[in-house]
Structure 1
Amino acid sequence: MFVSDSVAPRRPRIQSRAEASILHADLDSFYASVEQRDQPWLRGKPVIVGGGVVLAASYEAKAFGIRTPMNAGQALRLCPHAIVVPPRMSAYAEASKAVFAVFHDTTPVVEGISIDEAFLDVSGLRRISGEPIDIGHRLRAQVADQVGLPISVGIARNKFLAKVASAVAKPDGLRLVEPGGELDFLHPLPVQRLWGVGKVTSATLHANGITRIGQLAELGEPHLRAILGPAAARHLFALSWARDPRRVETGTRRRSIGAQRALGRRPRDPEEIAAYLDGLTDRLGRRLRAADRVCRTVVLRLRFDDFTRATRSHTLVEATDASTAIRHAARQLLHTAQPLIAERGITLIGLALTNLDDADTMQLTLPLQARADNTLDATLDDLRRRFGSSAVTRAALLRSGEGISVPLLPD
């Protein structure tokens, strides 16, 4: 059978559910909103949360171009009259718990992404709670009334579109992507709205004349593969046609945990850097044990004064949750990276623990005995749990402290 070359290729079919019943709920400028809620005199003013680095900015501050994680000095040059407030992590953790209580009252199917955003599946709740858009409006009203915070909600047939819709709805809004209208909503948006398109990928696409999602979709995967490589092309092309078959998952556990500390741009001696790394080790060890997890791989992350980055990793012989073993591996990685640090300077040090597993699945060694619960780690964890994280600290960190510990969802 002869097929004319002029026949347009059939558009890829959207793979998603029949109704728009996935909600993405995202608190607006979370840290800054909590500060404006608790200190009414800050409302309507440009607020920066942080110290040396901007951790959050109110929408009034964002209007001046302030973004996270911008240097605080640069932020104040953009907006000299901005009000800088120190972070209160315990207040943000409490606000997050209250918001997630509203989420779980709305539907049992909640997938937390971070302390200020989550996906909610409301399919099957029509007879009980009404249409998804009614549920979204009610959710926003309950968060405002019970927690006192603004939240934006996107509603769509899949997770990707729901997240894009909530971003488009900001600040303090709601956006429903009607079934059948996904491509009309998605294609006019800039390519930066696609998951996985950061500064580098965005610059590459722009250099090839691709600025809108619709242009990327029409280009085709083979041409996109030549620009970005096979994996990125496959991922972004699927998203450009609104394909995202993932379900809202509950009860999933983290694949890794991490912490980092910004060091500024002044020179640091090796002992000071090592002390900061020890503080990160102690913090991650506590989180690991609190979640009853063990790790196999320790990853050191560095950012240099010229804004380049480096990563070093080491896989342990046995999975562990012992701070001593993690610290030893981290110190070895830091030692191998010292020549680079001396050459380029250092502005940030980070540590991540990956290849996580449940502690109760850890292989026992001979003689077969249960894991001890009277270790130094367990004693220190108990003291910090009862009297606060700063109750016991390393002598090398007495003046500088352990740094900011960002609140996280329970694992």
Structure 2
Amino acid sequence: MRKPETIERLYLDFDGFFASVEQQARPALRGKPIGIVPFEGVKTTCVIAASSEAKQFGVKNVMNVADAKRICPGLILVPQTPDLYRRAHNTLLAEIGAVLPIDAVKSIDELTCRLDRHQRLDPERLSAQIKDRISRYVGPYITCSIGFAPNRHLAKIAGKQDKPNGTTIWHPNDLPNVLHPLPFDDIPGIGSRMERRLGANGIFNMEDLLRLEPKHMRKIWRNVSGERLWYALHGYDIQAGKSERGMFGHGRVLPPDMRSMVNAFSIARMLLVKAARRMRTAGYYASRLMVWCQGFEHSFGDQQKLPIVSDDHAVLTALRTVWLRLELIMPKHLKVVRVGVTLGDLSIADQRQLDMLLDDDVERRNEERLSKAIDHLNRKYSKSLVTRGPWIPPKGGHLGGKISYTRIPNSEDFW
């Protein structure tokens, strides 16, 4: 395994991305404490993201609005505008890509780059170039923190050390001492449960952890992830394994005036069509549908096996079957706060295995042709022009295109 002799990676993390994009786009919000919320005029919800001004009062992401207003009476609640964040994300990628190639986009507000031999010589200048370009061509209210290190994992940790708008550089000769003062929650791969497990093994700080042997880390983690983390923290060039696609799904918080089973089914239906459309575009079939509904206190879910399908008719038929079962077990007057659908147990399109007993190949092929024709028309006109059944999105739109830290919405999510 190779151990770099200099910095080779850059990791960039935008500061308070959603709130800063709102402030850049809307001058009236600049310099003020704002909190991004799912809906306008709703008090019983949470702050999805907070601006730096709000964070100075102690407001945190995913904090109850009532608690946030109590510690920051002047907090301005701003309804989310996911398509604005998508467009800002794409614009920022274009500007950063004009300075150096982007190796991987990790989330809507994080990315990583490999450094060539010239860029490794002057990381401060490279960081200044990126920040200057963002400020000039996108706007000064969107800032980023950048970490440089021998590998991606260490660069990500470094980038968190001097937020907001900081630059942190860790050379190989800084390791592992530079990690000793850090708390466990600064280390990707160490969550609260793992921290408790480490404590049970007599490991209470980073110095204790870094003294372990790789095999000991593997034993504590109970898989190879612990050993990989050891090598990453000691500066080795660890490459993440290729991940396989496991599912396509969407979830949605329901507006307060739509929190009934009837409305929840209508939204679940539209979410499922969107998920199936994404799945077809990516070239997959699904053999399982999972549906869940969440109330204020209880959650309910069920699933249905599918005969390896991709068309709208098949998945919507399965949804109706699952929903009838859910209605039997859910309280009659339950307020459904959130609903979600997931298509899982995926197969690559050209590896589909037909069910000989079901003998539905002719029907499936006809339905697939129909679904693909609908996809083609909608894509051509960039809207849900043709749909199977009613298509009435909830207030606020952004059905399937909500704020997401892990998946970057595309334009089709907003049709």
| TM-score where L is the length of structure 2 | 0.76
Counterpart of 1:197 in structure 2: which amino acid? I
> For residues 275-317 of structure 1, what are the alpha-carbon distances to aligned partners after superposition, in whole Å with 9 as ceiling and x for unaligned?
232121122223334445444443435555347x677555533
Map 1:11-410 → 2, pairs under 5 A: 16-51=3-38, 52-126=45-119, 131-148=122-139, 149-202=142-195, 205=198, 210-218=203-211, 229-230=222-223, 233-234=226-227, 237-238=230-231, 240-241=233-234, 245-246=238-239, 255-263=246-254, 268-301=259-292, 303=294, 305-306=296-297, 314=304, 316-320=306-310, 322-336=311-325, 341-342=330-331, 347-356=337-346, 359=349, 375=370, 378-379=373-374, 382-383=377-378, 386=381, 388=383, 395=390, 397=392, 400=395, 403=399, 405-406=401-402, 408=408
1:341, CA displacement in angstroms? 4.4
The worse-fitting range, judged by mean Cα deviation, of 181-190 and 367-376 is 367-376
1:409, CA displacement in angstroms? 5.9
* C-alpha spacing 1:391/1:332, structure 2 compared with 1 (3 Å): closer
* C-alpha spacing 1:357/1:22, structure 2 compared with 1 (3 Å): farther
1:164, CA displacement in angstroms? 1.0
Contact 1:225 1:234 in 2 (8 A): yes
1:247, CA displacement in angstroms? 6.1
1:222, CA displacement in angstroms? 7.5
> For residues 198-225 of structure 1, what are the alpha-carbon distances to aligned partners after superposition, in whole Å with 9 as ceiling and x for unaligned?
3443455567775533333346678777
Distance across 2 between alignment mates of 1:29 and 1:393: 39
Aligned length: 392
Gaps of 5+ in 1: 1-13
* C-alpha spacing 1:355/1:15, structure 2 compared with 1 (3 Å): farther
Contact 2:374 2:387 in 1 (8 A): no
1:107, CA displacement in angstroms? 3.4
* C-alpha spacing 1:242/1:91, structure 2 compared with 1 (3 Å): same
Distance across 1 between alignment mates of 2:74 and 2:158: 32
Distance across 1 between alignment mates of 2:241 and 2:102: 7
1:78, CA displacement in angstroms? 3.4
Counterpart of 1:349 in structure 2: which amino acid? V
RMSD (CA atoms): 4.2
> For residues 139-190 of structure 1, what are the alpha-carbon distances to aligned partners after superposition, in whole Å with 9 as ceiling and x for unaligned?
2221222211211111111111111111223211111111121312223211
1:55, CA displacement in angstroms? 2.9
Distance across 2 between alignment mates of 1:338 and 1:244: 52
1:71, CA displacement in angstroms? 3.5
Residue identity (%): 26
> For residues 317-362 of structure 1, what are the alpha-carbon distances to aligned partners after superposition, in whole Å with 9 as ceiling and x for unaligned?
3242x22323334444455555664399754332233455654665
* C-alpha spacing 1:82/1:228, structure 2 compared with 1 (3 Å): same
* C-alpha spacing 1:230/1:375, structure 2 compared with 1 (3 Å): closer
> For residues 105-129 of structure 1, what are the alpha-carbon distances to aligned partners after superposition, in whole Å with 9 as ceiling and x for unaligned?
3334521112222111123454xx9
SS at match of 1:201: helix
Counterpart of 1:44 in structure 2: which amino acid? G
SS at match of 1:353: strand
Contact 1:216 1:240 in 2 (8 A): no
SS at match of 2:6: coil
* C-alpha spacing 1:271/1:33, structure 2 compared with 1 (3 Å): same
